């Protein structure tokens, strides 16, 4: 490993790419210290930290958004929205390309069409930034976290919205610079940096809650279980990220003159987790609405019941002091849809499965894949090219997606289950699964593969091992030794 790291810095071009990427990530983190004026940052951070430790809906929302913003929403900085609007705009156009013929035609035009779609994505990002920025500022103002002399000034609203939008646009540009001059996907690297920035806080929270003499706090057994669980989950996430179902593909033979071409045998790799992290993102987004809805209904019905009791008491009417049936019903649904509760977990798993199959329906086209195999003179042994091949590919994809969705379900619900069963801060348990863990694993694997490709191109051993299992030096020597 040490020799491989030395090899990275021996290649000037690769060294410059790695250092440039690290420099851009440092710039990204510096922006988290530039606050928005007019907001009580200390009180805002206190509210979010309390909500996160309790595992409430607000805490889940803050954790979900911090995956893409690095926790700066709770710090009220110019990078508060992070790169999330850019990711959202990209997903929107990716879905629209499957239903709008104009966008699909642009995709098929190659680099020129994709550049045009990227331009539309940037414009949509700016619009989403203004909408989300105004919504966030309105939420903060409603909580009384904005100083009165600022919240009544319309210039502050314009200034704060423009600052949040400019921060996201700058991060978008930063990601594109990493794509051009660095190594790895720029947007993904920024997201991963934002996720890992919360790890020191999680370690601090775990240290503060460690006390072997107190049964209500974490002891040595809890630490051992957390470390073991973290290791197992990381190993499983890496395994499922690279897992594939290889379908054998035979290339037809072509005779030209006295020579025979083709006939090679290859494989068509189908990823077990084809949807990646997208099903969890969609499911997490939708699961916030029942919690917010039932929480609001529970509070509203309770206030209505209390108002009626007060009105009856003012009129001298005696009451038994019990709440009506609808108060208990809304409270039951509110308690049931808290993270970690059984009904919440069941619905969450169902949503992950639904969006896993939805995503492969959008992204995976067996008819198009069968057509491409036929055009290239390839076929799956034992299957006729055309509809029969497309049907087989669809059947295989449906089966392996069932396994992939089961893995995603375990990863998705694990943080909430550990938080509920072991009474551990959600800021700690979020690193045992969920969206953030999958993003970190997938981005790290992509980064290592890119570094590996650069090293192999220059005849150096990479992180995945050298020829014959020896990764202590170059794989082969050139004509000059």
Rounded-to-integer distance, Cα 268 and Cα 256, Å: 27
Check whether 373 has a pLDDT greater than 60.
yes
**Cα gap 352→278, rounded to integer Å:** 9
d(CA 410, CA 387): 35
| Whole-angstrom Cα Rg for the chain | 27
- CB distance 209 to 427 below 8 Å: no
pLDDT in tens, 137-188: 887 888 788 888 887 888 888 898 899 899 889 988 998 899 888 888 888 8
Q: What is the pTM of this model?
A: 0.76
Secondary structure in 3-state letters for the chain: CHHHHHHHHHCHHHHHHHHHHHHHHHHHHHHHHCECCCECHHHHHHHHHHHHHHCCHHHHHHHHHHHHHCCCCCCCECCCCCCHHHHHHHHHHHHHCCCCHHHHHHHHCCHHHHHHHHHHHHHHHHHHHHHHHHHHHHHHHHCCCECHHHHCCHHHHHHHHHHHHHHHHHHHHHHHHHHHHCCCCHHHHHHHHHHHCCHHHHHHHHHHCECCCCCCCECHHHHHHHHHHHHHHHHHHHHHHHCEEEEEEEECEEEECCEEEECCEEEEEEECCCCCCHHHHHHHHHHHHHHHHHHHHHHHHHHHHHHHHHHHHHCCCCCCCCCCHHHHHHHHHHHHCCCCCHHHHHHHHHHHHHHHHHHHHHHCCHHHHHHHHHHCCEECCCCCCCHHHHHHHHHHHHHHHHHHHHHHHHHHHHHHHHHHHHCCCHHHHHHHCHHHHHHHHHHHHHHHHHHHHHHHHCCCCCCCCCHHHCCCCCCCCCCCC
> pLDDT tens across 18-33, in order?
899 999 989 888 887 8
d(CA 220, CA 230): 15
First-last CA distance in the chain: 23
More confident residue, 340 or 408: 408
CB 438 within 8 A of CB 409: no
Nearest-CA neighbor of 287 among 357, 356, 350?
Answer: 350
CA proximity to 186, closest of 198, 178, 194: 178
Q: What are all long-range contacts of 288-294, with beta carbons under 8 Å and residues at least 24 apart?
A: 288/57, 288/60, 288/61, 288/64, 290/333, 290/337, 290/347, 291/57, 291/60, 291/334, 291/337, 291/338, 291/339, 291/344, 292/57, 294/330, 294/333, 294/334, 294/336, 294/337
Q: Which long-range contacts (CB under 8 A, 24 or more apart) does 15-21 make?
A: 17/181, 17/182, 17/183, 17/454, 18/182, 18/183, 18/451, 20/178, 20/181, 20/182, 21/178, 21/182, 21/183, 21/184, 21/189
Confidence of residue 475 (pLDDT cuts 50, 70, 90): very low
pLDDT at 399: 92
- Distances in whole angstroms, Cα of residue 286 to Cα of each of 56, 281, 352, 355: 15, 9, 10, 11
Give the pLDDT of residue 1: 64
The mean-pLDDT minimum among 72-86, 269-283, 333-347 falls in 72-86
Q: Are strands 244-251 and 253-256 parallel, antiparallel or unpaired?
A: unpaired
- Say if strands 244-251 and 265-271 run parallel, antiparallel, or are unpaired: antiparallel
CATH class of 243-424: mainly alpha
pLDDT confidence tier of residue 72, bands split at 50, 70 and 90: low
Q: Is the pLDDT of residue 476 over 50?
A: no
Tell me the pLDDT of the chain averaged across its residues. Answer: 79
Q: Which residues make beta-bridge pairs with 35? A: 77
The residue among 197, 222, 211 whose CA lies nearest residue 67 is 197
Q: What is the pLDDT of residues 408-466, one digit of tens each?
A: 888 888 887 887 777 777 777 777 776 778 888 888 888 888 888 878 777 665 555 54
φ, ψ at 202 (rounded to 5°): -65, -40
Mean pLDDT of 349-356: 90
β-pairing, 378-379 with 244-251?
antiparallel
Q: How far is CA 126 from the centre of its chain?
A: 21
pLDDT of the residue at 477: 40
């Amino acid at each position: 490993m040490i020799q491989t790291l030395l090899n990275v810095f021996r290649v000037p071009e690769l060294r410059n790419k790695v250092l440039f990427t690290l420099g851009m990530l440092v710039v990204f983190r510096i922006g988290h210290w530039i606050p928005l004026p007019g907001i009580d940052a200390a009180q805002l951070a206190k509210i979010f930290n309390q909500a996160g430790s309790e595992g409430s809906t607000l805490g889940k929302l803050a954790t979900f958004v911090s995956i893409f913003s690095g926790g700066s929403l709770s710090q009220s900085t110019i990078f508060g929205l992070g790169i999330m609007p850019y990711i959202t705009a990209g997903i929107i156009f990716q879905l629209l390309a499957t239903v709008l013929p104009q966008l699909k035609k642009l995709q098929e035009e190659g680099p020129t069409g994709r550049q045009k779609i990227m331009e539309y994505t940037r414009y949509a990002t700016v619009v989403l930034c203004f909408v989300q920025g105004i919504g966030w500022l309105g939420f903060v103002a409603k909580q009384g976290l904005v100083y009165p002399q600022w919240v009544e000034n319309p210039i502050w609203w314009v200034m704060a919205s423009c600052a949040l939008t400019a921060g996201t646009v700058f991060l978008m540009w930063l990601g594109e610079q990493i794509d051009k001059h660095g190594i790895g996907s720029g947007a993904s690297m920024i997201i991963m940096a934002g996720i890992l920035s919360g790890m020191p806080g999680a370690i601090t929270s775990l240290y503060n809650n460690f006390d072997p003499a107190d049964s209500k706090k974490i002891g040595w057994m809890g630490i051992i279980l957390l470390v073991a669980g973290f290791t197992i989950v990381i190993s499983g996430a890496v395994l499922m990220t690279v897992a594939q179902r290889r379908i054998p593909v035979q290339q037809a033979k072509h005779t030209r003159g006295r020579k025979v071409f083709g006939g090679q045998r290859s494989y068509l790799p189908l990823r077990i987790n084809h949807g990646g992290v997208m099903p969890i993102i969609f499911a997490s987004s939708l699961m916030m609405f029942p919690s917010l809805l039932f929480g609001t209904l529970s509070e509203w019905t309770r206030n209505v019941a209390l108002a009626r009791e007060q009105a009856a008491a003012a009129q001298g009417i005696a009451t038994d002091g019990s709440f009506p049936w609808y108060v208990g019903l809304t409270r039951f649904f509110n308690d049931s849809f808290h993270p970690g509760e059984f009904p919440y977990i069941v619905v969450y798993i169902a949503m992950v499965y639904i969006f896993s199959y939805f995503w492969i329906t959008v992204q995976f086209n067996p008819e198009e894949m069968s057509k491409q195999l036929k055009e290239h003179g390839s076929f799956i042994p034992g299957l006729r090219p055309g509809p029969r091949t497309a049907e087989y590919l669809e059947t295989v994809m449906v089966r392996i997606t069932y396994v992939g969705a089961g893995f995603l379900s375990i990863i998705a619900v694990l943080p909430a289950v550990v938080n509920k069963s072991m009474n551990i801060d959600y800021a700690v348990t979020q690193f045992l699964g969920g969206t953030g863990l999958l993003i970190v694993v997938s981005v790290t694997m992509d980064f290592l593969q890119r570094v590996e490709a650069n090293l192999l191109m220059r005849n150096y051993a990479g992180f995945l091992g050298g020829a014959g299992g020896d990764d202590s030096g170059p794989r082969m020597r050139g004509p000059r030794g």
